Each structure stands twice: as C-alpha cells, then as structure tokens.
Structure 1
Amino acid sequence: MLIIYAEDEREFDYSKGGEKGPAHWGDLKHEWSDCKKGAMQSPIDMSSDRVQVIAKSGEIKRRYKPSIAIVKNRGHDISLQWLNNSAGMIKINGTDYFLQQGHWHSPSEHTINGRGFDLELHMVHVSQDPNVTYTIAVIALLYKIGPPDAFLNKLIKIVMPMADKLTERNIGVIDPKDIKMGGRKYYRYMGSLTVPPCTQGVIWTINKKITLAKLASDDLMQK
C-alpha cells in the first residue's frame, strides 16, 4: 500500500505551544516543508473562495466492496485501513482513486461559515495512474451529536482496548458502504493533507449534509 503520511506519527503532535506542534511541522523535516511554505494548505473554512459546491451526486461514483481491514493506532489517531486496493474505489473526473484508509478527527478540522463540528471522517483514496497530476482524493464527512450511528458504534467497541497502545489489529471484513454518505451536494476544493508531510494537490470533497451520530469520539482519536 502506498504510504502518503508520515510513517512514525509520534514525530509530531497537535500541541499549540509545543516544539512538535502545527506551527513547527514544516521545520521538523525537510520533506515536511509544505506544512510551512505551502500555498494550498488544508483545512479551510467552506466559505473560502477556493471552494465550489457540486450539486450533482453523479460527480462522485463510488464502487466500494467488503474487504479485510486492520485498525491501527497511529499515535495521534486511530485509523481503519484496507489493504492492496481491495476495498474498491471512487471515480472523480474520469480518474479512479482506490480507497486506502479512513480516520477521524475531533473536533472537526474543516468548518462551515466558521462553525466547527463534533467529528470529521477522512476517507483517503489514491490513484495508481502515473499520468494523473493529482494522485490523492479525500472524501470527508462532518458529524454532530445525534442518534446512534451503527458503523461508528461497532468500530468504537473494537478500538477501545487499543486507545493507549501504538499497535494494530486485523478486524476481518469491513464494508466501506456501511459508512453513511447521505446528501447530494458536496464542497470541492484543492488542498493538502492535514498532517505531515502536508502534501499539496489533494482533491477534497466534503459532504454538505451533516451526519448525526451518538458516540464517544475520544475513542477514535487522540487529538
């Protein structure tokens, strides 16, 4: 599987005043310089001039399928990873992007008109086409507290024992289609990864519909 994030994510953190916090990410390693100098960095607010609203749900064609997955505690969050492009793909503007992993941030990283949300899911996809300029596409969902979400409740029960351990666990077959993605409108903009190496040229697609979920979000990330 193509690795697009820092392999050892203990090398940075989210401490605003610390030496490894976001203000210093670009100085920690040369290959992380985009975190400091990048002109298209994420996250942003959806009122930005960089953002477009896509009204046609057909703009994103999802072809996910059940596949073996692992849960991995990466230090600052817990991610759900599918191996060897086996979980299917999405098609954006004629290009196939294969699902690699999903991870959650709490509170949300993106905002809408200055408003943040309780939780944000990033589903990270990568193109295998060497001729494609933008090789990473992320679909994001924003959550606020509401009725129980079956997928998240199931996942939380699995990851709770891993909360304090830098480890990974094979959890068997997980179907990405079980992740709710309601709504027919999306925000779209060009940005970057939100953690080192802060790679630019990421296609962001953020569901305009806010998902409701009753959950203990701290079990999914340590931010």
Structure 2
Amino acid sequence: MRPAGLAVSAALLLLFSAAVLLSAAVPAAMAKHQTGHDEEEEEFGYSPDAENGPARWGEIKPEWAACGKGKMQSPIDLSSSRVSLARSLGHLNHSYRPAQATIVNSGHDVMVRFDGDAGSVSIDGTAYRLQQLHWHWPAEHTVDGRRYDMELHMVHQSAHNKTAVVAVHYQIGAHDAFLHKLEPYLAMIAGQKDREENVGVVDPMGARGRASVYYRYIGSLTAPPCSEGVIWTILKRVRTVSKHQLQLLRKAVNNEMDNARPSQEMNNRDVSIFRPYGQNKN
C-alpha cells in the first residue's frame, strides 16, 4: 500500500492530465464537425507547390503511376491547329432520363450521383451508362489556350468498365438553370466533406444541353488514379454560370481552392471535331 497523501496526489495528477487531453480534443472535434475535414493532409491536392500537388500525384501511390508516366493523359489544349473535322463521328447519340440522385461533397468537387437509371450515351455501338456528374473550376480543357471559368464532367461507364466523359464549358454570365435547382443542397453540404443529401429526381438533360458540335479524343481521368483509355467528348457550345453559383460550388468544397488539373502533353494524339453539314459554329 502507498501512503494516503501520495494516493491523493496521484489521483489529482491523473484528473489534471485527463482535463488537458479533453481540452485539446474538444476544439479538434468541433473543428472537424464544423468543416467536415480532418486536420490530416488530403491524399491529393491541386496546389502546384504542394507535395501532394498534380506534379507529384504519380509518386503518391503505385496504382497512381499513370498520373506521372502515362502518355495519354487529360486534360489537353484543344488547339485548332491539331483538330481535324470528322463528320463520320455522327451526332452524339444519348438517351438520358430523369432519375433519383444524391449530391455529394467529395472534398475535391461537388458530385451528383445517380442512384437510379439516368440513361446512357452510345459511342461506336457501345452503351455507356451515366453514373455521376461533377464540376471543376476553372475549366480543365482549354480551347486554343483559353481557359473557361468552369467545366462539367458527365461520367459514363460501359458494361465492360470502360469510361466515357461528356464535358461542358461555362463562362461567367446568366445563371445556369440546372445548377439553380441544386442551390439549396449546395448550402446544406457546404464545408462538410463526404456529406450527402438526397436531391430527388434529377434530369441530366438539363446539364447536357442540346449542343451538337463536339471535340473527341482518347485521354484519361483528370484525377488519381488517372486511368487511361477514357473517351472524351467536349461540347463546343459554351454555357453560362452566374458568379453566385460558382461561388456556391467553391464554398461547398473550399472557397480558396481551384480543382483543375494542368494541361497535359499531347504526345501525337488525334483530336477530332464533329460538326453537322451546314453548321459552322455550335
């Protein structure tokens, strides 16, 4: 047995230590609750100078090696000097339909995930079913060196797990009707990583629009693991988004963060453009 005085002192020391640990833990827990983010560094980021920035993605994990060593990486610059007209591509054949959806704050972007059958796009006779859509700001693909304010990616997958992405560019202007319907949910997920909210039925045609002229090339995912063999379709017609809507998207993830990967090397890839007969613009 130890003397009573020593026992009391030991008990008080334990209580003091517990109080110190608790006082340190509470602010951290509150910060995580308020921001939705752990204090730990993200697996990958977009800051060019960071150790987990785009130039280092291929070094972070072995399965992300394509980010650094791939020869068919995206995004690229859609330069007029390398684009060839290919009417044989034909009109973009899609059969989208309204479906139940969930909006998700991934921590890097805002995603609308389709939980029901939202339809598909047909490319070379293969159906690619729409899985989700998300936004990047500023735009990732550039057109003759011009970078627009935002880019939408509609991500599709075939029965054999091949990926096709339809992209839409935006510039600041009038508000976007599709995003307008999502604005209340953007506020609900703001600053809370992995937060999900059911948004009911969403019609993907509102995001796709009705543009008929498009660019086509083979590239990759624009975020890790940067898998290659992705069929890219970038619509030529540029839509508008309001400053307020773009701010809502940025605030939902991180108000100061851009989430666009820099342009990648062409490596002699072909880029085609489809334009219907008699149509010179969009």
Give the TM-score taking structure 1 as reference length.
0.87
- Highest Rg: 1 or 2? 2
SS at structure 2 position matched to 1:12:
coil
2:264 match: none
Q: Does 1:149 align with 2:176?
A: yes
Name the one with the larger strand percent: 1
Q: Does 1:87 align with 2:118?
A: yes
The change in CA–CA distance for 1:161 and 1:168 in structure 2 (over 3 A counts) is same
Using the alignment, how far apart are the partners of 2:182 and 2:90 within structure 1? 29
Using the alignment, how far apart are the partners of 1:48 and 1:208 within structure 2? 12
Q: Alignment identity in percent? A: 47
Cα distance, 1:99 vs structure 2: 0.2
Q: Does 1:114 align with 2:116?
A: no
Cα distance, 1:119 vs structure 2: 0.7
* Stretch of structure 1 that moved more, 152-161 or 25-34: 152-161
Q: 1:159 aligns with which of 186, 197, 201?
A: 186
Q: 2:101 aligns with which of 57, 69, 73?
A: 69
The gaps in structure 1 that reach 5 residues or longer are: 1-8
Matches within 5 A, 1:73-222: 73-83=105-115, 86-129=117-160, 135-166=162-193, 167-215=195-243, 216-221=245-250, 222=253
Using the alignment, how far apart are the partners of 1:92 and 1:25 within structure 2? 30
Contact 2:151–2:168 (CA under 8 A) maintained in structure 1: yes
Contact 1:59–1:92 (CA under 8 A) maintained in structure 2: no
Give the TM-score taking structure 2 as reference length.
0.70
Matches within 5 A, 1:5-84: 10-47=42-79, 51-55=83-87, 58-83=90-115
SS at structure 1 position matched to 2:232:
strand
Contact 2:91–2:212 (CA under 8 A) maintained in structure 1: no
CA displacement 1:92-144 (0-9 Å, x = unmatched)? 111000001000011101100000001100000000137xxxx1000000001
Contact 2:217–2:232 (CA under 8 A) maintained in structure 1: yes
The change in CA–CA distance for 1:83 and 1:194 in structure 2 (over 3 A counts) is same
CA RMSD of aligned residues (A): 2.0
Contact 2:176–2:240 (CA under 8 A) maintained in structure 1: yes
Cα distance, 1:219 vs structure 2: 2.3
Using the alignment, how far apart are the partners of 2:241 and 2:87 within structure 1? 24
Matched pairs, number: 210
SS at structure 2 position matched to 1:10:
coil
The change in CA–CA distance for 1:83 and 1:52 in structure 2 (over 3 A counts) is farther
The gaps in structure 2 that reach 5 residues or longer are: 1-40, 259-282
The change in CA–CA distance for 1:54 and 1:118 in structure 2 (over 3 A counts) is farther
The change in CA–CA distance for 1:183 and 1:35 in structure 2 (over 3 A counts) is same
Cα distance, 1:53 vs structure 2: 4.6
Contact 1:55–1:186 (CA under 8 A) maintained in structure 2: no
Using the alignment, how far apart are the partners of 1:53 and 1:77 within structure 2? 33
1:5 match: none
Using the alignment, how far apart are the partners of 2:174 and 2:87 within structure 1? 27
Using the alignment, how far apart are the partners of 1:34 and 1:194 within structure 2? 11
